[in-house]
Structure 1
Amino acid sequence: MDVQQIRDVAEEWEVRATETPFQGRVTGVRTDEVRMPDDSWARRDYQTHPGSVAVLAVDDRQRVLILRQYRHPVRQRLWEIPAGLLDVPGENPLHAAQRELFEEAHCKAAEWKVLVDFYTSPGGTDEALRIFLATDLSEAEGDRYEAHGEELQLETARVPLEDLVRLLLAGELHNPALITGVLALQAALTGAGVEALRPADSPWPARPFVQG
């Protein structure tokens, strides 16, 4: 197969019934009855999610800004990168990413690129996540964001990219946005370079947004 044909495509199989047995403040659970290729019907339960953004923030010493906080479902304190929900339908993901970098790290960046887009667990949720590469970092102006919940015990660190690659390959790091972002940046640096990454306002079909 021609490599030009290797790309994901939109497709939607017939659904004869759907229900939402649970809807929380942010996410819910949906149940669809979907027609299979052999004309049978199968039930598919999945989490509905508004989408997320994350920021791989890299300083001029090629150190990545990471955060550690408690994640109750897995009962671990995980090292992660700044991230958050797309709280408003149609919200510009770059604006959301800039907000998260400020709130979680009191940091801003002069240069932004789209690093990678992915579905976090497409067999079980429709969550789409866009990771931005943020560079030319500096401390944000104004008062720090008032933390709450898990963020009250947030730890921060700046770790060289090569050390993060080694740690995640050794099985010491488990957050999917951190792993995906680190490996994507490593691939970019050893390939066409970060200059070849997409602009920060590039379209995102999984979560269409208002430009500007």
Structure 2
Amino acid sequence: MDFKEETIKETSVYKGNITEYTVQEVRLPNGKTAQREIVRHDGAAAVIPFINDDEIILVKQYRKAIEQISIEIPAGLKDESDASASVTAARELEEETGYRANNLSFVTSFYSTPGFTDEFLEIYEATDLYLAENPLSQDEDENVEVMIVTYDEAWDLYEQGLLRDSKTVFALFYWKMKKSMKKD
């Protein structure tokens, strides 16, 4: 079966600093037409910063879209000057936490919500961390609190509903998998 939808027309409704909102008229495989609302996004990178096997760095911040505090792994948008997502991940780790990593390795990548956005997220694991002497400063519109939490504390935050964004939930289950592999 053919699943491809042919774009007949695309209209940009709004272009902001982070996203662009478009409306597409598409031809479905059965010949009928439909409308698709799409959020275009330049992509992002996130980092799972391990202090050791039982501690991780998270950041606490207010997220206006959900009108609540969210506890997350460090992450951010790719800048035009970033040569790769690993550069983005390293920069965001330093900006948001003040830490740098001697080891940064790719873990996975995925589309965050392909039903309406093309946002592509790449996740890295950071180990052998150290505090930067003169760390990069946070973005002007960013207010974050650094948290160093244990494995059990992270799961408690998840159970309390404070750790809920997809990249951080992934990081939590990734950590669980790593710990179970060490036991074997």
Is 2:168 the counterpart of 1:178?
yes
Aligned in 2, Cα 1:34/1:187: closer, same or farther, shift over 3 Å? farther
Higher strand share: 2
Contact preservation (8 Å) 1:47, 1:124: yes
C-alpha distance in 2, partners of 1:25/1:56? 26
C-alpha distance in 2, partners of 1:106/1:179? 23
Q: 1:47-196 to 2 correspondence within 5 Å?
A: 47-88=39-80, 91-143=83-135, 145=137, 147-151=139-143, 154-169=144-159, 171-191=161-181
Q: How many pairs align?
A: 180
Contact preservation (8 Å) 2:103, 2:127: yes
Q: TM-score, normalised by structure 1?
A: 0.77
Contact preservation (8 Å) 1:86, 1:93: yes
* Structure 1 stretches of at least 4 aligned residues deviating more than 3 Å after TM superposition: 169-172
Deviation digits for residues 46-74 of structure 1 (CA, Å, limit 9, x no counterpart): 11100000111011252110011111111
Contact preservation (8 Å) 1:55, 1:134: yes
Unaligned runs of 5+ in 1: 1-10, 194-212
Is 2:27 the counterpart of 1:43?
no
RMSD over aligned Cα, in angstroms? 2.1
Is 2:26 the counterpart of 1:18?
no
Letter in 2 for 1:104: E
C-alpha distance in 1, partners of 2:71/2:110? 19
Once the two structures are TM-superposed, the CA of residue 163 in structure 1 deviates from its matched residue by: 3.1
Contact preservation (8 Å) 1:116, 1:181: no
Once the two structures are TM-superposed, the CA of residue 39 in structure 1 deviates from its matched residue by: 1.5
Letter in 2 for 1:180: F
Q: TM-score, normalised by structure 2?
A: 0.87
Aligned in 2, Cα 1:89/1:146: closer, same or farther, shift over 3 Å? closer
C-alpha distance in 2, partners of 1:169/1:40? 45
Deviation digits for residues 102-150 of structure 1 (CA, Å, limit 9, x no counterpart): 1111101111111221111111111011111101111112255155223
Letter in 1 for 2:108: V
Return 159-168 or 175-184, whichever deviates more.
Answer: 159-168
